[in-house]
Amino acid sequence: MIKAILIFNNHGKPRMSKFYEHYTEDTEQQIIRETFHLVSKRDENVCNFLEGGLLIGGSENKLIYRHYATLYFVFCVDSSESELGILDLIQVFVETLDKCFENVCELDLIFHLDKVHNILAEMVMGGMVLETNMSEIITQVEAQGKMEKSERLQDVFVEFSHQDLLDFYNQMEMIQTQLTR
Amino acid sequence: MSDVVEKTLTALPGLFESQTGAAKITNRLRQLIKSITELTSKHEEENLIKRELSAIKEQVSSPNTTMKQMREIMVRAMYCEMLGYDASFTYIHAIKLAQQGGVLEKRVGYLAVSLFLNEGHELLLLLVNTVLKDLQSTNLIEVCMALTVVAQVFPKDMIPAVLPLVEDKLSHPKEIIRRKAVLALYKFYLIAPNQVQHIHAKFCKALSDKDPGVMASSLHIYLQLIRESPDSYKDLTGSFVTILKQVLGGKLPVDFNYHSVPAPWLQIQLLRILSLLGKEDQSTSELMYEVLDESLRRAEMNHNITYAILYECVKAVYTIHPKAELLEKAARCIGNFVLSPKINLKYLGLKALTYVVQHDAKLALQHQMTIIECLDHSDFTIKRETLELLFRITNAQNVTVIVEKMLDFLRSCNDEHTIIHLIGKVAELAEKFAPDNSWFIQTMNDVFSIGGDLLQQDVPNNFLRLLAEGSESKEEDDQLRLYAVESYLTVLKGHTSHLPQCFLQVMSWVLGEYAHLQESVDRREVIRLLTQLLDQRSVSSETRVWILSALTKIPEGQTDLILDLAESLSSSQDTVLRQQAQELRHLSQDSQLREWVLPRGAPWDGIEVDSSLSFLDGFVSEALAAGAAPYKPPHQRQEELCEDRALNLEPYSFSLPVSLSSCSITDRQSPTLLSVSSGLSGNSAELSQKAGSSTLILEGVKRVWGKDGYLPQKEATAPPVDEPSAAVQPASQQEAAERIEPRPEPSTQNQDKQQLASSLFVGLGVGSSVSLLGKSEAPPPRFRKKPRPHESSSSSGTSKRSSDSSSHSSRNTTDSFLYGSFPEEEPATSISTFDHTPKSTTANGLSQNKDTKEDRHANTSQILGGDMVIVRPSTIQDKHPPSVSSDLTALLPADLKDLPHSDVISLTSDPSLSLSSCRLFRDEALLLVIFISNCTETVIKDVAVQLTCEELKTASLRGNVMDCLEARSTSVCHYALLMDDPHTNVSLTGTVSYQTQPGHTNTLPFSGTLSTADFIRPLVVTTEEYGKLWLSLSHDVKQNLKLLTDAGDPLRTTLNALKDALQLHVVDIIGSEGIVACRLLSGAPCLLHCRVNGAALAMWLRSPHPALPDFILYHCQRALAHH
């Protein structure tokens, strides 16, 4: 069973956190900090598994993580999950995010926290893997997205349309590439 | 990169300026995020979020806020919560949003609810109706959302409300809904297994669903069910094999492919299920050889995910009944893992090896060079896993090298969790394989100084116990003690301020106890060293107490020093220290008293603690006479509290949690703590000493559990002590060295590693067979403890388990009080228990029209209802057809004959012996009688029965060991079984060992299952007592049950049916309501309140035990369903 899914950036700022077991508010923050501390000091060329810290349940649990550019994706799982299986699940999750946001970047996660959660809810439900098939996940998310769109059309004057957002992202990407040069 | 983000964000406002009106609200989130990104310090963040939260507060309470704005606000609140700030005032609004909004608002509302609220949160109650409404909605998305939230946050007591609707969804036309419903039910199963017992058939339907996705999610449930009781699902093996074959054959839609591997996650699940099913079961394993072979073959090495499948496959091959050909292939796969340059695969390879060396130590030998490389790997995780592997292959010959490696690693490690985990293993290895005294003491010194105060309490306790109890030979013991004393004196002479408290405590105890063995050292010197410690500020007050009690024990002669010390401490702030100083002074002045209180070299076994504190009786009665209030046990206090309570929120009230765990705390206390508490009584000095030693013994009992904790991956069935040693061949050092020498390519730079290898892998012989048959005799542990009744005797190996040890081990799990209440011959109790047989319950005036025939019916149905093998009658009963040999009951001892009993059923048999059993229902226990019949014409000797059950307390009452069993005769042995915590079904396992010819021991395993119903006894109370008791009970469960309507009075018929099946006591029936009472043996009561509600029986159960109502409800459901 998956105990928690955490996304934080290179500075340890949480970008998304989802706990499938109950912890107090303070413990949750401590877990995020401890996990960041454990994960961030590991080199790029070591394995993606870490045997659990004290907080998230001791030796029964493992941390499985992947590091993409500015973001760490960490899954805390118990011994009943396959390590490599989860590792690829993270890959599926990221690829799905990439499809849904068209080239996902950290900003997408910040601005669309709720959408990220909704995508995740289609993959993992109550700590169990629900769906690993990317196209199926996207279908479900889009079915919900359609409603959103239809609502958007109604108040097109007050909110941006999807196209606006796209333009915005394109523009932002331009700025980014200029800055990195 | 982050400054890029910041710059991008500063450019944002320009993009948004064109937006006006309602967009302002939308912008609030962006503004919030923007300002968060600009922050430089934690303090600023705090201020900003506080401002933000007060703004949110204002907006949510404003009546003008629209639903859409509310959505926005929720996302902002979610953001604040994620950063760790309390936004609890928005919770109620999240619920409102889910209740009242449109689909989009609902989605945000539900999301916020599942993020904000946990299972215990009281606001969840407000959500029940919304969820019910949405579950019935025609909008698929709403149903999906409701199912998700149900699986995420619903607590146990709210499940009955939604269960029927979720169940209905299993037959929903849309597969996504079915899939979510299956997972929601799985979650229910995890939280409250009894509430979903009745829908197992539907799980089966989900497994055969035409949509592979639904089938895949049902595997979650099956994996869990099979993990719990593999025997009940053996018949599904064929189906799982077929599914796996179809998946491998590419029969699934292409959608399910991931990197062109068909449904890898599904394959992983299936392989896990198969390995659980095939474990220790040859015939089931044979069904899956083919598909496993196929699976190994198909998984070509091209992607991560194929390795994931391979890894599971290898584990499965090694878990099920071995087949040489497959094992060979699997071993080759492990090689691929271990030798892979990819670090993740190497890690898994090591993990696989760790798992496999228990079965085949040879494999570690093959990969020794890789293992040694991994030992020096830069990756912490890899290193740790390597040490785990080495731990498994440790034997008496390589222990020094391996322990050194582990200690090296621990010295450089700063992860608390790893230290605790590994240091325990080092201590275990040291204790088990130590080559000599000096090494052992030295290693333990390292353990204490590295582990320090992180150590689990049982490590020092075990160590001290080992020193104190010693082995058979007194000389050796004294040598060990002497060495310890010497070594500690050296340590104390050095720099002591950095030593952990726990090490100081161990040292002071040993010095106090055994310093006298060392004659060459002056007592004054020892006292000086110990007093020196007292002066250090870093020494905790607990350690000071240890030191003082050590000083108390160092014998006479140095009165002046001691008196000075006692003087200086008698003004200490710490009352405990002061008390100890007083004792010290008294004892040092009165040598006779000291000799009496602290006899030197006294045996350890004889000391007993009066846990009932009866020596305080005089004091108590004096206090009572002086007008003190009598002591009330906690439950009584609660009862009174409850009566004062005016408000009773019925459906979901849990206002009186019963703390069950509180009593276990005392066992964990350190010796000092106990001595402190008893130090308050009059004759404290003596007691503190006694208490100190007896705590060690208590810890000794716990010890088995402690070890289990160290080895989490280990199979539950393997005896804990056997495992590492049995994996090791008894090859001598020379043989092993010979084997290692001819290894190829001894390149020069590898010389060191080769050398290391030969020292690490020494003793892992060539001929070790694949399966562990327990033949190999491991080198005996150096510090074998004296056999004692408290210690598990499983280390003696199955083959030569003497009758003596088996009787010990069957006793060890049971409290001595069990024996107290079951004397071997005691007709008096058997008469008293007879009061509660079915006959007597019919006599309470409720069954007016019952004649003897009815009575007999009651008796038989009770016996059938609690059938011995009850789990899944369809599958198991076939295996053990009840061979009813009524004449066997005639063999029951006279004092038991009158007890109500079940049919005699056959347990197992082989050509020489056959075993049957019968259950007798006693008031305070279940008696299990085992008939052992000799089927041969010869005498069978040394028959010993051993019965184990993890969930129950078992005690052999009589006859589990027999010197000889005459030809064609039957002997009876019986056990008393106690159930403290209810379990639905309890499985018993056991073995009978016997000798047909001298020196040739056979064992015959048997197993059976008991149900909770066997442990339920009627509770005879009056209606008033019932009423009082009802109010005092805190855990309740409600459910509607089937009402039997075939007779005139449905309520009466139903209650009688329940009474017959479960031995309940019907207290009273008034109109359409009935009250019924029962208890778990003589323990926790459970009260049932039944009311006819239309065509159903509304049952409301209450008990002080949190789980008992669920189990009783389950059995009621069964009983009515079978009626």
Local confidence band at A93 (pLDDT 50, 70, 90 cut-offs)? very high
Q: Are B582 and B570 in contact, with CB atoms under 8 Å apart?
A: yes
Q: Are B524 and B561 in contact, with CB atoms under 8 Å apart?
A: yes
Average pLDDT on B536-555 reads: 80
C-alpha to C-alpha distance for B986 and B950, rounded to whole angstroms: 8
- What number of helices (H) and strands (E) belong to chain A? 6, 7
Which residue among A51, A106, A135 sits closest to B255, beta carbon to beta carbon?
A: A135
Angle, helices B103-116 vs B140-153, to 10°: value is 10
Q: Are B1078 and B1112 in contact, with CB atoms under 8 Å apart?
A: yes
Phi, psi of B493 (to 5 degrees): -70, -25
**Higher-pLDDT residue of B1042, B831:** B1042
Q: Are B503 and B452 in contact, with CB atoms under 8 Å apart?
A: yes
Angle, helices B559-569 vs B575-589, to 10°: value is 160
Burial of B878 (0-12, 13-18, 19+ CB in 10 A): exposed
**Helix (H) or strand (E) run with residue A66 in it:** strand A62-68
Tell me if chain A has a CB within 8 Å of the CB of B178: no
CA dihedral B401, B402, B408, B414 (to 10 degrees): -170
Tell me if chain B has a CB within 8 Å of the CB of A88: yes
Tell me if chain A has a CB within 8 Å of the CB of B421: yes
Check whether B881 has a pLDDT greater than 70: no
B1002-1018 pLDDT, tens digit each: 888 888 778 777 888 88
Give the pLDDT of residue B281: 85
- Give the whole-number percent of chain A exceeding pLDDT 70: 87
Local confidence band at A5 (pLDDT 50, 70, 90 cut-offs)? very high
Most confident of A54-58, A128-132, B711-715: A128-132
Q: Are A75 and A90 in contact, with CB atoms under 8 Å apart?
A: yes
Between residues 31 and 70 of chain A, which touch chain B (CB distance below 8 Å)? 38, 42-43, 45-54, 58-60, 69-70
Tell me if chain B has a CB within 8 Å of the CB of A166: no
Local confidence band at A94 (pLDDT 50, 70, 90 cut-offs)? very high
Q: Are B911 and B953 in contact, with CB atoms under 8 Å apart?
A: no
Residue in A26, A30, A35 with CA at minimum distance from that of residue A6:
A35
Tell me if chain A has a CB within 8 Å of the CB of B265: yes
Which residue among B107, B119, B220 sits closest to A118, beta carbon to beta carbon?
A: B107
Residue B980's CB is within 10 A of a number of other CB atoms, namely 13
C-alpha to C-alpha distance for B466 and B434, rounded to whole angstroms: 13
Query: Taking CB atoms and an 8 Å limit, are A159 and B26 in contact across chains?
Result: yes
C-alpha to C-alpha distance for A49 and A85, rounded to whole angstroms: 12
Local confidence band at B775 (pLDDT 50, 70, 90 cut-offs)? very low
Of A46-55, B378-387, B743-752, B774-783, minimum mean pLDDT range = B774-783
DSSP state of B746: -
Tell me if chain A has a CB within 8 Å of the CB of B713: yes
Query: Taking CB atoms and an 8 Å limit, are B268 and A11 in contact across chains?
Result: no
3-state secondary structure of B1068: strand
3-state secondary structure of B913: strand
Residue in A112, A148, A28, A103 with CA at minimum distance from that of residue B33:
A112
**What residue of B is the nearest CA neighbor of A121?**
B148
Q: Are B407 and B444 in contact, with CB atoms under 8 Å apart?
A: no
Most confident of A91-105, B644-658, B676-690, B946-960: A91-105
Tell me if chain A has a CB within 8 Å of the CB of B1: yes
**Higher-pLDDT residue of B807, B1062:** B1062
Average pLDDT on B375-399 reads: 83
Between residues 115 and 144 of chain A, which touch chain B (CB distance below 8 Å)? 117-118, 121, 125-133, 135-136, 140, 143-144
Give the pLDDT of residue A7: 92
Record the pTM: 0.61
Instruction: List chain A residues with CB under 8 Å of B75.
Output: 113-114
3-state secondary structure of B960: coil
Burial of B32 (0-12, 13-18, 19+ CB in 10 A): buried
Local confidence band at B812 (pLDDT 50, 70, 90 cut-offs)? very low
Residue B505's CB is within 10 A of a number of other CB atoms, namely 26
C-alpha to C-alpha distance for A90 and A88, rounded to whole angstroms: 5
Give the pLDDT of residue B454: 76
B191-226 pLDDT, tens digit each: 888 887 777 888 888 888 888 888 988 998 899 889
Phi, psi of A29 (to 5 degrees): -65, -40
Give the pLDDT of residue B828: 36
* Radius of gyration from C-alpha coordinates of chain A: 17
Average pLDDT on A61-82 reads: 88
Average pLDDT on B522-533 reads: 79
Q: Are B396 and B779 in contact, with CB atoms under 8 Å apart?
A: yes
Tell me the C-alpha to C-alpha distance, in Å, between residue A125 and each of B136, B146, B153, B509. 20, 12, 11, 54
B142-178 pLDDT, tens digit each: 898 899 898 888 888 888 888 888 888 888 888 889 9
Check whether B429 has a pLDDT greater than 70: yes
Q: Are B486 and B518 in contact, with CB atoms under 8 Å apart?
A: yes
Check whether B475 has a pLDDT greater than 70: yes
Residue B1050 identity (one-letter amino acid) = P
**Helix (H) or strand (E) run with residue B489 in it:** helix B474-493
Question: Average pLDDT of chain B?
Answer: 72
Mutate to test the interface with A, among B105, B417, B454, B714 (most CBs of A within 10 A): B417
Instruction: List chain B residues with CB under 8 Å of A54.
Output: 416-417
Local confidence band at B859 (pLDDT 50, 70, 90 cut-offs)? very low
Check whether B28 has a pLDDT greater than 80: no
Local confidence band at B339 (pLDDT 50, 70, 90 cut-offs)? confident
Judged by phi (left if over 0) then psi (alpha if -120 to 50, else beta), residue B452 lies in left
Q: What is the DSSP string of B77-128?
A: HHHHHHTT---GGGHHHHHHHHHHS-HHHHHHHHHHHHHH--TT-GGGGGGH
Query: Taking CB atoms and an 8 Å limit, are B22 and A159 in contact across chains?
Result: yes
C-alpha to C-alpha distance for B200 and B206, rounded to whole angstroms: 10
Which residue among A117, A129, A147 sits closest to B265, beta carbon to beta carbon?
A: A129
B394-427 pLDDT, tens digit each: 887 888 888 888 888 888 877 777 788 788 888 8
B176-188 pLDDT, tens digit each: 899 999 999 998 8
**Higher-pLDDT residue of B788, A148:** A148
**Higher-pLDDT residue of B380, B653:** B380
**Higher-pLDDT residue of B550, A86:** A86
Give the pLDDT of residue A59: 64
C-alpha to C-alpha distance for B659 and B654, rounded to whole angstroms: 12
Judged by phi (left if over 0) then psi (alpha if -120 to 50, else beta), residue B204 lies in alpha
Average pLDDT on B979-986 reads: 75
Average pLDDT on B250-269 reads: 86
Q: What is the DSSP string of B348-409?
A: HHHHHHHHHTTT-THHHHHTHHHHHHHHT-S-HHHHHHHHHHHHHH--TTTHHHHHHHHHHH
3-state secondary structure of B496: coil
Strands, E assignment, B935-1070:
940-948, 953-958, 961-965, 970-978, 985-997, 1000-1011, 1016-1018, 1035-1042, 1065-1070
Local confidence band at B770 (pLDDT 50, 70, 90 cut-offs)? very low
B682-711 pLDDT, tens digit each: 343 333 343 333 333 333 333 333 333 333
Average pLDDT on B978-996 reads: 78
Query: Taking CB atoms and an 8 Å limit, are B255 and A43 in contact across chains?
Result: no
Q: Are B71 and B97 in contact, with CB atoms under 8 Å apart?
A: yes
Check whether B611 has a pLDDT greater than 80: no
Instruction: List chain A residues with CB under 8 Å of B258.
Output: 88, 92, 132-133
C-alpha to C-alpha distance for B484 and B436, rounded to whole angstroms: 12
Residue A108 to chain B, least CA–CA distance (Å): 11
**Helix (H) or strand (E) run with residue A152 in it:** helix A134-154
Give the pLDDT of residue B602: 56
Tell me the C-alpha to C-alpha distance, in Å, between residue B43 and each of B48, B49, B171. 9, 10, 54
Tell me if chain A has a CB within 8 Å of the CB of B120: yes
> Tokens 């599914």, residue?
B243
Q: Are A64 and A49 in contact, with CB atoms under 8 Å apart?
A: yes
C-alpha to C-alpha distance for B281 and B235, rounded to whole angstroms: 13
Query: Taking CB atoms and an 8 Å limit, are A126 and B151 in contact across chains?
Result: yes
**What residue of A is the nearest CA neighbor of B118?**
A22
- Give the whole-number percent of chain B exceeding pLDDT 90: 2
Of A65-74, B186-195, B226-235, B730-739, minimum mean pLDDT range = B730-739
Average pLDDT on B1039-1058 reads: 80
Give the pLDDT of residue B241: 92
CA dihedral B138, B142, B147, B151 (to 10 degrees): -170
Instruction: List chain A residues with CB under 8 Å of B187.
Output: 126-128
Give the pLDDT of residue B783: 54
Give the pLDDT of residue A127: 86
Average pLDDT on A98-104 reads: 85
Between residues 204 and 243 of chain B, which touch chain A (CB distance below 8 Å)? 213, 217, 220, 223
- The β-bridge partners of B991 are B946, B1005
Check whether B1051 has a pLDDT greater than 80: yes
